[in-house]
Amino acid sequence: MQTESMTADDGPPEPRLTLSGAVKAFGPVVALADGNIEILPGEIHALVGENGAGKSTLVKILAGLYRLDAGEFQVDGQPVSFRTVADSKAAGISVIYQEPTLFPDLTVAENIFIGRQPKGRLGLISRAAMRTAARDLFDQLGVRIDPNRVAEGLSIADQQIIEIAKAISLDAKVLVMDEPTAALSGVEVERLFQVARNLRTQGAGILFISHRFDEVFALCDRITVMRDGRYIATHVTSMVTVDAIVHEMVGRDVGALFPKEVAPVGDTVLSVQGLGRAGVFADVTFEVKAGEVVALAGLVGAGRTEVARAVFGIDPYDRGTVEFAGTLLKPHSPKAAIDAGMGFVPEDRRKQGLVMDLSVGRNTALTLRDRVARFGIINGRAERAAAAEWGRRLQVKTTSQEYAVSTLSGGNQQKVVLAKWLATDPKFLIVDEPTRGIDVGTKSEVHRLISDLANRGIAILMISSELPEVLGMADRVLVMHEGRITAELSRAEATPESIMHAATASLERTQ
């Protein structure tokens, strides 16, 4: 990496990397409609945006994982078109992911140099030379990691440093860090920043993706904002405020896309007190009443799903209590939760919500197998009847209950999951990202369903990363940030700005 300086008489330096008018679509879903980014040598450039703004897609294009449908992509002024990750690496781009992929069984030094280990006598790999080279890299980065230990068991922070060391040894000109600080502690973040600043001095261009505004403003020279797959603006950090950035991130028309009907609010169904799990979430306290939709908002990785899983008993918790309909719920027991009248519609319906190869009917009746069985043997006719009834009520569009559920569209699969739980007559339902990956038409159907359920007196906790969905559906919004609830907002108080501020912890607790 050669040293370059940004002096005035050189004129503006040539960008290390330019992407303009980038388009990437997956079938009908346009993930990136207009991606633009320009990274100069000796610059740390922030990329910010909500969940789904297209940041990840842009990163994957830079990494060579996705190919552009349209748009221009240049590295050092030369147009490029990557077919593979290796192409991207060869062009001098290295991507550091939030959770790096190292080879757990190989040593740290070998992870850096795999495939290009230094050779010694007889053409054999020289471990000593490899170790020394790794130590030199770590010295350069100002960190202490034992090159001899195996990668298994290393902290995320150390794994990232190893990826950075690898990037340096590959002479990377552009480093892309995709939310590198999400899993780091304060000290580790500071160490990473120091490394990034050193690299900047040496002339590397760094693209830094983060949800934490304090970090963005402390570290980065320029900030590019994206929203809904489009480039919005690029600012010099010293000339912009957090408020202005937040406004650009969320500044869209929040139409009454998904209006929830107002339902009579009944008794408290779920009461969570001081719930905590070391390293995951802490001090989580909230209530959900009958007929209410409470949204759990926040950025990906804030700990929302983890809280829901703990409440439902899938994961254990260390502290606090979960009270359901007035009685304490046995921790770490999904069976107790289901028996008490809880349902859980998971985020990943393909893996956790459905048995993809089983028929629509059998999936629907899965939660009913005790009720449709006699002496432990399932009565096929009773099973089909129950399944057909719930399928009809939720308008699941399938030509036959016998088809494998994998043949349905995403929206209809979600209805099957909902039907599965509704058949148990629950008092409380957790829905995790209910409309993820569902097309716009079916989305509103799912929302109408959820609204109907609330009307029938079911208490609902909805985890959602989509602000319009949260604003349209929720009676109350709980916002989480890094494992804690940072705000509780009534329907009137909830605005895109207030939620985004709480989700990025850029304001004091607003409660």
Partner 1 sequence: MTTAPTRPPGKAERIASAAPSRLGAFLRLRELPVTVALIALVIITTVVNPLFLSPQGVKDLLLNATIVIILAVGQALVIITRNVDLSVGSILGLVAFGTGTLFATVPGIPIVVVFLAGMLLGALLGAINGLLVTVAKVPALVITLGTLYIYRGLNNAWAGGTQYFAGDRPDAFGSLSVDTVLGFPLITLIAVVVVVIVAVYLAGTRPGRDLYAIGSDPDAAKLFGIPVSRRVFLAFLTNGVLAGLAGVLYASRFNSVGATTGSGLELAVVAAAVVGGVAIFGGSGSVVGAAMGALLLTTITSALTALRVDKFWQEAIVGVLILSAIIIDRIASVRSARKLRISEARNV
Q: Where do contacts with partner 1 occur on this chain (CB under 8 A)? A: 84-86, 89, 101-107, 110, 114-117, 123-125, 127-128, 131-132, 146, 148-150, 152-156, 183-185, 278-282, 482-483
Q: Which residues contact 354 (CB under 8 A, 6 or more apart)?
A: 363, 405, 413, 416, 417
Choice between 63 and 175, CB closer to partner 1: 63
Q: Work out how close the CB of 43 gets to partner 1 at its nearest, in angstroms, rounded to a whole number.
A: 27
Rounded distance between C-alpha atoms, residue 271 and residue 322, angstroms = 6
Q: Which residues of 291-329 are buried (b: 16+ CB within 10 A; e: fewer)?
A: bbbbbbbbbbbbbbbbbbbbbbbbbebeebebebbeeeb
Tokens of 470: 């949260």
**C-beta closer to partner 1: residue 115 or 326:** 115
Q: How far is the CB of 307 from partner 1 (least distance, A)?
A: 13
Beta-sheet pairing, 476-481 with 484-490: antiparallel
CB of 169 to partner 1, least distance (A): 13
Q: How far apart are CA 324 and CA 428, in angstroms?
A: 9
For the bound state, the minimum distance from the C-beta of residue 183 to partner 1, rounded and expressed in Å, comes to 7
CA-angle at 309, arms to 303 and 312, nearest 5°: 140
Nearer to partner 1, 124 or 256 (CB): 124
C-beta of 56: minimal distance to partner 1 in Å? 16
- How far apart CA 248 and CA 252 sit, in angstroms, is 8
Q: Rank residues 132 and 379 by Cβ distance to partner 1 and give the closer one.
A: 132
Total number of residues shown for the chain: 511
Q: Which residue has the tokens 């700990």?
A: 303
Distance CA 359, CA 368 (A): 15
> Three-state DSSP class for 385?
helix
> Which CB atom, from 30 or from 300, has the smaller least distance to partner 1?
300
Which C-beta is closer to partner 1: that of 16 or that of 89? 89
Question: Residue 102 or residue 366: which is nearer to partner 1 going by CB?
Answer: 102
Tokens of 502: 């709480």
Q: Please report how close the Cβ of residue 134 comes to partner 1 at its closest, in angstroms.
A: 12
CB of 182 to partner 1, least distance (A): 9
